[in-house]
Amino acid sequence: MNKNVLLVFFIFIISALIPYIIMIITERKDNV
């Protein structure tokens, strides 16, 4: 399979998780 497909899929998944990760980090900071 074309390696670009895997690369795009990887970047896509990471970017979709970014808002969630930022939420967790900022909430943790608020609670400290």
Partner 1 sequence: MYKILIYLIYFSFYSILILILGKGGLKQTETIEDFFIGGKSMKLFPSIFTFTATWFSIASMVGFTGSVYVSGYEVVLMSVVGWFLGAGLLVLIVDSIRDYDLITIPEFFYKRYNSKGLQIFGGITTVFCYIMYMIIQITGFGVVISKLLEINYSMAIFMIYIFIIYTTYGGFFSVVKTDTLNIIITIIGVLISAFFIINKFDSILDINIFASEIINNDNKAFLDFEIPLPMIISTSFAWGLGLAVNPQYLIRISSTDSSITAKKMISYSVLILAVLYFLLALVGVGGRVLSPELYNNIHVDEVYSFLINNTIYTKLSGFILIGITAAAISSINSQLLIISSGLMIDVVKNIYTKPIHQELVLNISRFFIILAATVSLLLSFTPPSSLLIYGSIIWSIFSITFFLPIYLGSFWKKANKTGVIASIISGLTVMMYFLFKSGFFDSSYSMHPVVPSFISALLFFYIFTIIGDKYENKT
| Residues at the interface with partner 1 (CB under 8 A) | 1-2, 4-5, 8, 11-13, 15-16, 18-23, 26-27
Alpha-carbon gap, residue 12 to 18, rounded angstroms: 10
Task: Find the shortest distance in angstroms from Cβ 11 to partner 1.
Answer: 6
Task: Find the shortest distance in angstroms from Cβ 32 to partner 1.
Answer: 15
Alpha-carbon gap, residue 10 to 20, rounded angstroms: 16
Task: Find the shortest distance in angstroms from Cβ 3 to partner 1.
Answer: 9
Residues in the chain: 32
